[in-house]
Structure 1
Amino acid sequence: AGGTAAGGTAAGGTARGGAALNGAALRMAGRPLAAHLRARAPQLTRRVVARLLAELPVYAELPQEEVAGDIAGIVQHSLRQFADVLERRRPAGPEEFGRQRDSAALRAEEGVPLDAILTAYQIGAAMAWDELAAGAEPADLPAFQEALGYFLDFQRLLISSVSAAYLEVRQILDSQEHGGRHALMTALMTGETAGHRPAPRYAVLALAFAPHPDEAGAGQRARIAARRKIRRIRTVLDEVADEPAFTALDSSGGTALLPYSAGWDVLHDLVARAAKCADVPVTAAAEITGPAGIPAAVAQTAEIMDLVRRAGRPPGLYRLADVLLDYQLSRPSGALPGLAALLAPLDRKPELLRTLERYLACDLDRRATGAALHVHPNTVAYRVRRISALTGLDPARPGDLQLLHAALIARRALP
């Protein structure tokens, strides 16, 4: 019905055109529709606005003068505009929705969600149609079909105009906000915060994400899965931060600065929730500091993350306190090459080196090591004896155990 009414070339359209030229008013339930809608517009506007305030919380939060002014005004304008369409029996043109576009732009600047705006127009449209169609009888079917065609066409143009105006303004605002946020993040990471207003305290995170199974391949599905993973993790970061987090993330991880006043326990929960929401393992290195300490914290968390990765530690949150020995032993010094050389006899025995790493990580538990390496515990015992014979260091001796730990860390620290 809508397509025929809007086209003007089908039989209904021809009839409407002829009727309009003859000055006949479009009538339903014994009354001229245009005159009836104009007469009822003030009362209908009050009812529509009351329903918006009752059903859409975001409208109830607007200033009362704005509701009684711009909101009520645009409702009544739209009702009278559609009455004009019914009177001339001709569809509206896209250029006739300037006031609605201006109103949508204001709502965009105020941060009113687009879905709430479109819902408001749909509520008003439904109430207007109920008013027009009330009391219609079978004999009114031709008029009903013609009016419905105009109604659907009017709604299509209205929603299109409102959405376009809203999105145009939001794109400009988001671009400005993104530029400002990017500039502040850059300033924080370089320590040049003059002219900015940073938060008093930040949680600095280096993040690493495992790939989601849906990211396998190079097609559209993989790209969508990667964006979805990043979006979900950003949502969790924003929920924990005092205000929206600053992030530089890709599908493998990145850096996040969270304006932050909570404690470490909340950060531990954040990493667990991010992993659950994104459905991938998440590893994070973190430090809490003021704005002046952010550049050093960014560098330090990156080093902590590197140590965690090299050591093959499980996903989760890590602080400097969790890797103190690794951190200190990996600092450049003349002792590093000597420590690393302790394991040189294992260079041609990669299975022994892997066994040593896992054996130490499993606290010298042969069964756990065997399960991790998919070998029998007796095989682990044999390999440990071979390691001792080749290096002269026995993990069962406390002093040798410390040297073996230090030697592994040194090997990871050297190129």
Structure 2
Amino acid sequence: MPHDKPLCVGGRPIAAHLRARAPHLTRRVVERLLDELPVYAELPQEEVAGDIADIVQHSLRQFADVLERRRPVRPADLHRQRDSAAQRAEEGVPLDAILTAYQIGAAMGWNEIADGVGPGDLPDFQEALSCLLDFQRQLTSVVSGSYLEARRLIDSQEHGGRHALMTALLSGEPLGRVIHRTGLRPAACYVVMTLAFAAHPDENGTGQRARVAARRKIRRVRSVLDGFAGEPALTTLDGSGGTVLLPVPAAPPWESLCEVVAQATKAADTLITAAAELAGPAGVPAAVTQSAEVMDVVRRTGRAPGLYRLADVLLDYQLSRPSEALRGLAGLLEPLDSKPELLLTLECYLARDLDRRGTGAALHIHPNTVAYRIRRICELTGLDPARPTDLQLINAALVARRSLGSP
């Protein structure tokens, strides 16, 4: 139903006044956006003076039309705001900054309307406020929906591109086709990591809680890795671990990688064991294989959680390679297979640098008992830990046994 009398405040029609003040008000809104929202200040000046200013003025004039017609705007009439939100999403402007910009524009427009309001203006003032709230609600809904849909498509494309790039790097296939198809280029170097996650207490069981806990753990680890790389890391992770390719411009200090694993452990609230190697794009497949082998050695030898490289497990790694000598080394300690207390004492004795008292304390036995057991080991194997050459053989034999899965 048409209204004969326009909404007025201070003796002037609100719609006409707002429409006349729109150019001046637009300049003031844009200045405030640049002053209060750093992300807008980082946009090209041409875009700020063009697209951003245009959408501000268009929204102000559109609200003036709403006040003049005294009926809500149709969703189809908000197509320019919808397109603008999608463009900001492509540019990486955060949604909260966009919504804040609309709130700033609405507040400044309302202050312009409210200037000079008197007691007699209350009915029109209240109706104008109701129109503003409805207009702002529709704007928020349309802008948010358009932005999120655009981000979903962008993220899907980027995720698909990263997945294709990682697949090509892992398989060693030529990268030219992937670069042409996705526009993504490989980094100069990658920190190739194999990760193993301990289960979080909340993952116990098989219900929804366990699945949510696993996803949360993975998300927190990825967040730490992305923060270190400065961009999304290439990952294939599940609740137990997986493979990570961290893009880096050059070899980072080993200490910084250890700190990343420590931060990921803290963020995930569970223990993380990792093995890492550095490789160029062409060397990624070999580095993945080697880091997985280092991880296998770390697990077999019962090392503590943390980050490892090949240099940390050289002897164990080399002795875990298949060879005729491996079984021969393991066989040196076969006489102890039926005497597990002697094997346990030997491992403990070597771990404590041949200290009888320390070994006795660890095993809760008397040092003299330790001495007796070491003599028995010498008698049965012919190897004496006190002789340097025998000590090397004993260490190698223990590693060989672990590599072959001996108890």
TM range (shorter): 0.7 to 0.9
Note the C-alpha offset of 1:143: 2.8
Distance 2:357 2:299 in 1: 24
TM-score using structure 1 length:
0.85
Is 1:32 the counterpart of 2:6 in the alignment?
Answer: no
| Alignment equivalent of 1:235, drawn from 223, 226, 233 | 223
CA gap of 1:177–1:282, structure 2 versus 1, over 3 A, is same
Note the C-alpha offset of 1:348: 5.7
Distance 1:349 1:252 in 2: 35
Q: Would you say the 8 A contact 2:169–2:175 is kept in 1?
A: no
CA gap of 1:370–1:234, structure 2 versus 1, over 3 A, is farther
Q: Would you say the 8 A contact 1:242–1:258 is kept in 2?
A: no
Residue aligning to 1:282: 272
SS in 2 for 1:161: helix
Note the C-alpha offset of 1:50: 0.4
SS in 1 for 2:304: coil
User: For structure 1, which runs of at least 5 residues remain unmatched after alignment?
Assistant: 1-19
**Residues 11-50 of structure 1: CA distance to partner in whole angstroms, max 9, x if unpaired?**
xxxxxxxxx5342212234332222221221111111100
1:96-135 matched pairs, under 5 angstroms: 96-135=77-116
User: For structure 2, which runs of at least 5 residues remain unmatched after alignment?
Assistant: 180-184
Residue aligning to 2:294: 304
CA gap of 1:168–1:191, structure 2 versus 1, over 3 A, is same
Q: Identity of paired residues, percent?
A: 70
Q: Which 10-residue stretch deviates more, 130-139 or 98-107?
A: 130-139
Distance 2:121 2:342 in 1: 90
Residue aligning to 2:240: 252
Which residue identity lines up with residue 136 of structure 2 in the other structure?
Answer: Q
1:163-174 matched pairs, under 5 angstroms: 163-174=144-155
Q: Would you say the 8 A contact 1:37–1:79 is kept in 2?
A: yes
Residue aligning to 1:267: 257
Note the C-alpha offset of 1:396: 4.2
Note the C-alpha offset of 1:324: 0.7
TM-score using structure 2 length:
0.87
Q: Would you say the 8 A contact 2:9–2:125 is kept in 1?
A: yes
Note the C-alpha offset of 1:283: 1.9
1:138-149 matched pairs, under 5 angstroms: 138-149=119-130
Residue aligning to 2:134: 153
Residue aligning to 1:315: 305
Residue aligning to 1:213: 201
Note the C-alpha offset of 1:311: 0.8
**Residues 213-249 of structure 1: CA distance to partner in whole angstroms, max 9, x if unpaired?**
3434444444343333323322332333365321112
**Residues 330-376 of structure 1: CA distance to partner in whole angstroms, max 9, x if unpaired?**
110122233334444555666665555455444445676677x6x52
CA gap of 1:142–1:363, structure 2 versus 1, over 3 A, is farther
Distance 2:240 2:91 in 1: 35
SS in 1 for 2:245: strand
Is 1:389 the counterpart of 2:370 in the alignment?
Answer: no
Q: Which 10-residue stretch deviates more, 178-187 or 324-333?
A: 178-187
